[in-house]
Amino acid sequence: MFIDTHCHLSREDYDDIDKVIKEDKEAGVDKIVVSGCSRESIDEVMSFKDKYDMVYVTIGYHPEYADNVRENDLDFLENLLSEKKIVGIGEIGLDYHYTKDNKDKQIWLFEEQLKIAEEFNLPVVIHSRDATQDTINTLKKYNVKGIIHCFNGSLETANIYINMGFLLGIGGVVTFKNSKLKDVVKEISIESIVLETDSPYLTPVPFRGKVNSSKYLSYIAQEIASLKGVDVSIVAEITSKTALSLFDFK
């Protein structure tokens, strides 16, 4: 049994969502945590969680929308949190890859959502790209737990997050040839890892170039198992247990 702790699901990327869900189940995936991270995608993922048993959602505004999100969008977010099957806030965070000109706005949006997570006692799914130090400094100000989604940093950074109580979301990147993430995964404990696909992006080897989906999760788990020298069933069991203890799936 596998749990995909972070993916995206949208009619824009998949022609037939029923089929995607069916194939995920057939591939041994028990639950998928779908992230709605814009006003539009929040509406869409809310409808999927009501339709499909295996779908749970996190909602939150991605840093790429930092210039557009207003107070009323945050109220909109907060008002949804009483609904069933919303298991966290995310993906939220900082992304300086394309621009850091709006750094202040990004940090404002990140902090507003960390406050909401703290108030509602919900885990967070963190997006951090080229912004490690600011992400760490910001997270330290709040009493939150969660996942550093698509972790792809150094062993030193991994240990900082782990010591702060965060889990590392490991996805398709670990299967890429020459990925430095392989060395990091070798060194950290399986208990600090949760599986994710970030589909439709970051498709694992040997399917690179195709649209990703949760059905490929076992290839990520298999790579982690090889790096750790254990059977894939051990990776499935431990990472699922960890995901179940972070997210309230009832």
Q: Which of residues 171-200 bind Ni ion (CB under 5 A)?
A: 198
Within 10 angstroms of residue 67's Cβ, the number of other Cβ atoms is 12
- Half-sphere exposure (CA, 13 Å, Cβ side) for 211? 13
> CA geometry: angle at 129 spanning 62 and 122, to 5°?
45
Instruction: Answer for the pair 66, 109: CB distance below 8 angstroms, yes or no.
Output: yes
Q: Which of residues 33-92 bind Ni ion (CB under 5 A)?
A: none
Q: How far is the CB of 234 from Ni ion (least distance, A)?
A: 26
Query: How many binding residues for Ni ion (CB under 5 A)?
Result: 1
Q: Would you give the binding string for Ni ion spanning residues 197-236, x where CB under 5 A is met?
A: -x--------------------------------------
Token pair 């749970």: residue: 56
Q: How far is the CB of 202 from Ni ion (least distance, A)?
A: 9
Q: How far is the CB of 8 from Ni ion (least distance, A)?
A: 6
Which is nearer to Ni ion, 7 or 69 (by Cβ)?
7
User: Which residue has the CB atom at the shortest distance from Ni ion?
Assistant: 198
What distance in Å separates the CA atoms of residue 245 and residue 28, rounded to the nearest whole number? 20
Is 7 exposed, middle or buried (CB count within 10 Å of its CB: 0-12, 13-18, 19+)? buried
What is the distance in angstroms between the CA of the first residue and the CA of the last residue of the chain?
17
Which is nearer to Ni ion, 212 or 242 (by Cβ)?
212
Which is nearer to Ni ion, 213 or 225 (by Cβ)?
213
Which is nearer to Ni ion, 203 or 225 (by Cβ)?
203
Which is nearer to Ni ion, 128 or 225 (by Cβ)?
128
112 binds Ni ion, rule: CB under 5 A:
no
Q: How far is the CB of 91 from Ni ion (least distance, A)?
A: 5
75-93 burial, b for 16+ CB within 10 Å, e for fewer?
A: ebbbeeeeeebbbbbbbbb
Which is nearer to Ni ion, 41 or 138 (by Cβ)?
41
Q: How far is the CB of 224 from Ni ion (least distance, A)?
A: 19
What distance in Å separates the CA atoms of residue 225 and residue 76, rounded to the nearest whole number? 41
Residue ranges binding Ni ion (CB under 5 A): 198
